[in-house]
Amino acid sequence: MPSPSVRAGALCGALSGLLIALPGLIEAFTGETAATSLLLALSPALALPLLAALHLRQAPAAGRFGDTAHTLNLIGLGLFGGAAFASNLVLFYFDDDVIEDTLTGPTIPALIGSAAVFAAGCALFGAAMLRARVFPRIPSWGYAVVLPVFAFVTALPDSLLSSALHVAVGVILIWLAAALYRSPDSAAASRAITRTAA
């Protein structure tokens, strides 16, 4: 049975994936709406406990590289999540002229920088998952490849590609959350390995 922190991380991850995939699916037919924007704005906050729980579970196998990748991914998720929150709950309600006047000075470079840090963090953390071999390979590859692409495509106008990427990212997070929930407790697994070796 997973520890309470792992269960909470898995639940938050599944909810985060759902809050990304469902709006992506809806927006493929309706375009962006106030309701889908609200769900997308909340999803990064729920991904934070998932990221922490994934790292906690694979830390012994991931080593220093995993620690570094987790730290960078955590910083990137915080930056990207803040940008997503502002975009979906603030800028969504502004007229295009107001948005154009608002996004001046260092704002655009800061948003691009946030996406770049998030993309690099996802690529490295996905690579750490692949190296650690604790979680399934398909969602680990998806985390390493699809999430970095997603970071930059979200800045483009809505399209079928952006909707498909939202759905793909949601599925990846839900898959990893399910794998996290089903994986054996790392402390119990370590004790079992020690007993077997003795």
φ/ψ (deg, to 5) at 3: -70, 160
Q: Which residues contact 51 (CB under 8 A, 6 or more apart)?
A: 9, 70, 73, 74, 77, 125
Tell me what pLDDT residue 48 has: 95
List the chain domain ranges: 4-197
Residue given tokens 């809806």 in the structure block: 26
The string of pLDDT tens digits covering residues 38-59 is 999 999 999 999 999 999 999 9
Tell me what pLDDT residue 193 has: 32
Residue 146 tokens read as: 């699809």
CA pair distance 148, 143, nearest whole angstrom: 8
Q: Where are the beta strands (DSSP E) in the chain?
A: none
Alpha-carbon torsion 44, 49, 54, 60, what sign? positive
Neighbours of 198 (CB within 10 A): 5
Tell me what pLDDT residue 70 has: 97
Would you write out the chain's pLDDT as a tens digit for each of its 198 residues? Answer: 678 889 999 999 999 999 999 999 999 898 888 899 999 999 999 999 999 999 999 999 999 999 999 999 999 999 999 989 988 888 777 777 777 777 777 888 888 899 999 999 999 999 999 999 999 999 999 999 999 999 988 877 778 888 999 999 999 999 999 999 998 765 444 443 334 334
> Which of 2.60.120, 1.10.4160, 3.10.20, 1.20.1070 would CATH assign to domain 4-197?
1.20.1070
Tell me what pLDDT residue 1 has: 67
CA pair distance 124, 113, nearest whole angstrom: 16
CB 151 within 8 A of CB 80: yes
Neighbours of 79 (CB within 10 A): 20
